[in-house]
Amino acid sequence: SAVISQKPSRDICQRGTSLTIQCQVDSQVTMMFWYRQQPGQSLTLIATANQGSEATYESGFVIDKFPISRPNLTFSTLTVSNMSPEDSSIYLCSVEFLETQYFGPGTRLLVL
């Protein structure tokens, strides 16, 4: 399996600020994804992080709000920009490794 770490594990932020979440995987992977999980809800795909090109965003998510970097095959960042309380959620990094999708431990974000 792939071992995924995320930083930070949790944060409390003021509205209007931005937070960058880092995701590191212990194997080179082609596919990396970012999900949001609101309390008691299912997993919603934000975007697919493509190495060497722009991320592919799902309906309802835009690059200005959630810029993503993917500098290599083991690392990605997601920034939550100009935060509002509605952005309070858990953000999960995910990778596909050997045709199986694994999840990172998540970043729990609270915006005040």
Q: Give the interface with other proteins as residue ranges (CB under 8 A).
A: 31, 33, 41-43, 45, 48, 56, 92, 96, 99-106
Sheet holding 68-72, edge to edge: 4-7, 19-25, 75-80, 68-72
Q: Which is nearer to other proteins, 82 or 101 (CB)?
A: 101
Q: Which is nearer to other proteins, 61 or 102 (CB)?
A: 102
Alpha carbon distance 28, 108 (integer Å)? 25
User: Positive or negative, the Cα torsion across 84, 69, 35, 56?
Assistant: positive
Q: Which is nearer to other proteins, 61 or 103 (CB)?
A: 103
Q: Which is nearer to other proteins, 53 or 100 (CB)?
A: 100
User: Positive or negative, the Cα torsion across 23, 24, 25, 31?
Assistant: positive
